[in-house]
Amino acid sequence: MRNLIISAALLAMSGLALPTQSAHAGDVAAGKVKAYTCTGCHGIPGYNNVYPTYKVPKIGGQNYEYLTAALKAYRNGERHHSTMELQATSLTDEDIEDISAYFASLGNDN
């Protein structure tokens, strides 16, 4: 009975620990190289998108899973932005994972 309780507790703990694990498929070093194009807009502090005018979003330290979802949504036309849709069309799943891993790695607190 005691073993059962301990096992259940361990299972519960491992389940809780899962979402916080940052293991993902992306390669940060490869992503840094592939992300060079991105810095043309996302690497200029305060750079403005035009029509409508708003600042190009900061992505340094953004979450990996959010970044991969955003790039895939641009690639398959679910999310619209002319520049981003064109950029994303040429990306493979691996490119998206690597680029996302690189940007996610730039945060101080992620």
Partner 1 sequence: MKHRNQMTRIVCAALLAILPGTVLAKGDPATGKEKSAVCQACHGLDGKSIAPNYPNLAGQHESYLVKALADYRAGRRTNPIMAPMAANLSDQDIEDLAAWYAGQDGLKDLSIK
Residue 64 or 95: the one with the smaller Cβ distance to partner 1 is 64
Question: In whole angstroms, how close is the CB of 72 to partner 1 at the nearest point?
Answer: 12
The residue among 56, 55, 86 whose CA lies nearest residue 71 is 86
Dihedrals phi, psi of 89, to nearest 5 degrees: -60, -30
Q: How far apart are CA 78 and CA 30, in angstroms?
A: 26
Question: In whole angstroms, how close is the CB of 5 to partner 1 at the nearest point?
Answer: 28
Rule CB under 8 A: which residues touch partner 1? 19, 22, 38-39, 42-43, 45-46, 52-66, 69-70, 78-80, 103, 106-110
Question: In whole angstroms, how close is the CB of 40 to partner 1 at the nearest point?
Answer: 9
Residue 10 or 58: the one with the smaller Cβ distance to partner 1 is 58
Dihedrals phi, psi of 7, to nearest 5 degrees: -60, -45
